[in-house]
Amino acid sequence: MIYEVRTYQLKPRSVPEFIDTFERALPIREKVSKLSGFFYTEIGPLNEVIHVWPFKDLGDRERKRALFPPEKKLGWPPKVAHLAETMNSEIFVPAPFSPTMAEGSLGPIFEWREYQILPGMMPEVYRNWEKKVARRIELSPLIMAMHSEIGGLFKLVHIWGYESLEHRSAVRAEAVAKGIWPPKGPKETLVSQRNKIVLAAPFSPVR
C-alpha cells in the first residue's frame, strides 16, 4: 500500500470554492479510486488543502489516473487549477505500526506533523516509536504515520485526531508527564519538525 499526498497552496479566500468544486467531481473519480482523506489548514500555512489517495502500488496509481486524461473532459480532474498557486505531489509508505487510514469521526481537530529525519535513520525512528506508540494511541487516535518514498526524502508524516484544541493540549501534557510520549532513543534522528492544525472537509472519509 502507498499513499499519494497532494498538497495545494491556494489563492486567498478560495478554499470554499475549491472544496465545493472538488466535492461535486469526486463521485466520478471514486468509481475507480477512493479518497482516504481531505484536509484544509486552520493553523499554520493558510489556504492549503491536502488530499490523500491510497493505491496498491505505483502501477495501480498510474492505471487509475490514466482513466481520466484532462483532454477527454470526463469530469475529473475538477476545474480548480485557476485557484492554485502551487501543487505538490508526494508518495508515502505507511509505517509498520501505522493503522490503515481509518474512516469515521476521529477529529474534528487534526494535527499534521512533518519531521525531517537524518538520512538512514528512519529504521531507528520506527524502532523507538514501536516501543511507545501503543500507549500514545490510548490517549488520542493515530490517523496515519508514513514516510516519503517519492518527493522530499526522509520525511516522516504523522496525523493525530483530537476532539478540540483543548483536548490536544491536555493529551500532550499527559503524555509528557507520564513519560508516554515523545519517543526517545540513544541516537539523534531529527533534522527539523513542523506542524499544522487541519480540519476535514465534510466529504472526507476521516473527519
Question: Which domains can be identified in the chain, with CATH numbers?
Answer: 2-200 (3.30.70.100)
pLDDT digits (tens, 9 = 90+) for 109-139: 999 999 999 999 999 999 999 999 999 999 9
DSSP 8-state code for residue 203 = T
- Band (pLDDT 50/70/90 cuts) for residue 147 is very high
8 conformational bin, left if phi > 0, alpha if psi -120 to 50, beta if neither = beta
Q: How much is the pLDDT for 74?
A: 81
Asked if 187 contacts 119 with a C-beta cutoff of 8 angstroms, the reply is no
pLDDT value at 54 more than 90: yes
Residue 71 predicted with pLDDT over 90: no
Helices (H), the chain: 15-29, 58-65, 122-130, 133-137, 165-177
Task: Write the pLDDT tens digit of every residue in 79-89.
Answer: 999 999 999 99
Kindly report the length of the chain. Answer: 207
Closest CA to 142 of 124, 153, 156: 156
Among the residues of 66-196, which ranges form H helices?
A: 122-130, 133-137, 165-177
Percent of the chain with pLDDT over 90: 92
Among the listed residues 203, 94, 89, 108, the one whose alpha carbon sits nearest the alpha carbon of residue 161 = 108
What whole-number distance in Å separates Cα of residue 91 and Cα of residue 93? 7
pLDDT at 167: 98
Instruction: Give the tens place of pLDDT for each residue, 176-207.
Output: 999 999 999 888 999 999 999 999 999 999 99
Please list the residues that pair with 92 across neighbouring strands: 3, 148
158, containing H or E segment? strand 155-162
Per the prediction, the chain carries an average pLDDT of 96
Q: What backbone torsions phi and psi does residue 21 show, to the nearest 5 degrees?
A: -65, -40
